[in-house]
Structures are given as C-alpha cells and as structure tokens.
Amino acid sequence: MTNNQLQTLALLYKVSDETLDRVKKTFKTVHYHPDGSPISKEHLAEIEVWAATWRGLPEEVESLDELKKTKLVQLMSAGANAALNSKVFTSYPGWDKKFALCTASGIHSLAIPQYIVMSIISLYNSAYLQTHKTRDDKKWFSKSELPVHNAMTLYGKTAGMLGYGSIAREAARQLKAMNVRIIAANSSGSKKGDDGFMFPGTGDADGSIPDEYYSTTDKDSFHEFLSKSDILIGSLPSTPQTHYLLNKEQFDMMPDRSVFVNIGRGDLAPSDDIIAALDAPNGLIGAALDVTDPEPLPDNHPLYSHPRVVLTPHTSGDYEHYSDAAAECVMENVKRFREKGTFFNVVDVKKGY
C-alpha cells in the first residue's frame, strides 16, 4: 500500500481551522461543503472518500453510479440506519461491493461512558431529585425531607454490559476503577477484541476487562447474565435481533433494586415494560434512558414524570469538538487503508451495523 491512494475527500460538516489544516495535509484535494452546498457532478465522479454526516451521502447523489472512484463513505455517527435506509443505497443492491460504508464507532467513548457513570451515581443517590427539589423550592432541606432511598454505592456491584462495543468497553474500564465487577453479553458469548477506532488510553482493546461473557442468543446464558446484573447497560444497535430483546420478564430476572441504563437504541425494550419494572415490588430502582421507544417520546408520556427515571433526548454522545473527532476517525481510517489495505468500523449489510 502507498500514500498515493485515497487522495480526494468530500468533507460535509464543519470542523475547526486546526482540523481542516490537518485534513488538507492528509488529502491532496478536499471538497469542503459544511454549509450543505451541492457538489458538482464532475467532482462526484472524482471523490474517493466521503466524510459524511449521519444521514450518509448528500441529496445531489442521485445514483451510486455517479461515484466512479469512491472507496469509502465514512459516517460521523455510530449507527448506520439512516444511511442504509436512504433511497440511494436501497436502490442499488450490491453497493457494498463498490465501496465500504464505515461508522464513527469509537468517537463516542469520550462522552457516553461518562454519561453512563454519571447516571448510575445520580440514580443511586437520587441526586437528580434532590437537585430538582432544592432548586424548585429554594430551600435547604433536612435529610428526612429529601427523596433519598438509602443512597447506594457502586462498590462491589456487578455491571452487565449488554453489547460490548467501544462505548461499553470504555464504560467498563471506568466502572472497574470504581470496584465494579464487569460481565458482558454479546451474540457469540465469547471474548472478542476491538480493532476499530480508539482514542489513546480508552477502552478495552483485547476484551480482558469482563470476568465472564454470556450469549444473547442462548436463552439460559442470557438469563444467567441478567440474574447477575445489578446494573444493566444497553448499548446495542437496532436490528431485528435486538428489537425488544428486553421486556418485563427479563427485567424480573435481574437482582432486586437494579438499575437499567440504555444508550443504544430505544427499541431494545418497550417503554411500558420499563415502567412496569420500575413500579414492581423489588423491581428496578431506576432507569437512565437516553433513547426511548418510540423516539421521539410523545408529549406527556409517563416516562417524563416518573420519579425514578433520568431521561435525556438522545444527547449523551454530544460533546465539544465532536466533528473534529469524526474527522480524526476519517483520517485514521484512511491511514489504516494506506498501510494495511483494510478499513475499520465497516458496516455489515446483513447485520445492519
């Protein structure tokens, strides 16, 4: 492989001046369109790499036949649903033989794992309720007046990572530092490494943090996983296999006074079943939901006002310089291809992620 490959880039989102300067040093030609202005047909035929938004290719691409030289379409999101379901992709069977579609999996490890840890601690200590009460009433309350259910500690708890991608791996690393035991469940039930994009010092590249692995496709194995998870952390993509993988029955298998965190996709569990688990005797003591079923959640839905729910509108992955991190991911993927002839974070069409 040589550095002469993949030299023409289309960058479709705004980055800092410093990052743009690095991008221009990585590619000979950069078509920079952060304002959404259309790219000419002539340039479409020349572009080899797309630094695309979560939506995928821009509207001016009417057919993939126009992309004569494209080898990589790199999304700035961890999910690929929007791109895969776009007309330009669905109308071109076999597009994956033409170029690679890659996600930005790994860039969210700077934000979502912190959200996970923050949410668990907030639920364990009712910090969100205390904040609301003192702010709304503008009063210094005694402990007996506050909605605290005997504040709990992370020490000695077991966190079950449902899905063990880049986000879960970094969350596992952070939780283990707080003396939390880590177990993980994936489709195979076996330890796997991660050779995707990773910021230095983050994650679990060799998959060695979990004490045990379980299978989501083996009923007994999955039930054992749930029965040990004091904290259940969902980070799965939306696929036919993960749709409503959790329901009231599965939540009932968890230890008493457990916590559920979902930062993957909302259709992992029906909202009604989450509420039922929260309201059940010895059921969930709390749920932190950055994604919901449905999404967006309808106005006045019971989850908004449930006293043991921390709810955010799919914002856990947002952080300053996000687009710069996405561009960094593009440059690293191109570097990988120039050195090894392969890309990371390639979307599997059959799996949908």
Per-residue pLDDT of the chain (353 residues; tens, 9 = 90+): 556 799 999 999 999 999 999 999 999 999 999 999 999 999 999 999 999 999 999 999 999 999 999 999 999 999 899 999 999 999 999 999 999 999 999 999 999 999 999 999 999 999 999 899 899 999 998 888 877 656 899 999 999 999 999 999 999 999 999 999 999 999 999 999 999 999 999 999 999 999 999 999 999 999 999 999 999 999 999 999 999 999 999 999 999 999 999 999 999 999 999 999 999 999 999 999 999 999 999 999 999 999 999 999 999 999 999 999 999 999 999 999 999 999 999 999 888 88
Would you say how long the chain is, in residues?
Answer: 353
Q: What is the pLDDT of residue 142?
A: 86
* Distance from C-alpha of 63 to C-alpha of 90, rounded to nearest angstrom: 11
Angle between helices 322-340 and 17-26 (to 10 degrees): 10
Asked if 270 and 247 count as a contact pair (C-beta separation under 8 A), the reply is yes
Which residues have a Cβ under 8 Å from the Cβ of 291 and sit 6 or more positions away? 262, 263, 264, 265, 266, 268, 314
> Domains in the chain, please, with CATH?
8-107+320-340 (3.40.50.720), 112-311 (3.40.50.720)
Q: Token pair for residue 77?
A: 């999101």
Greatest distance between any 2 Cα atoms in the chain: 71
Q: What is the pLDDT of residue 144?
A: 83
Using one digit for the tens of pLDDT, what is the confidence trace for 294-353? Answer: 999 999 999 999 999 999 999 999 999 999 999 999 999 999 999 999 999 999 988 888
* Distance from C-alpha of 276 to C-alpha of 247, rounded to nearest angstrom: 10
Q: What is the pLDDT of residue 334?
A: 98
**158 pairs with which residues across the strands?**
181
- Can you give the pTM of this predicted structure? 0.92
In angstroms, what is the C-alpha Rg of the chain? Answer: 22
Cα 238–chain centre separation: 11
Q: What is the pLDDT of residue 341?
A: 96
Which residues have a Cβ under 8 Å from the Cβ of 122 and sit 6 or more positions away? 128, 288, 310
Q: What is the pLDDT of residue 151?
A: 87
Neighbours of 69 (CB within 10 A): 14
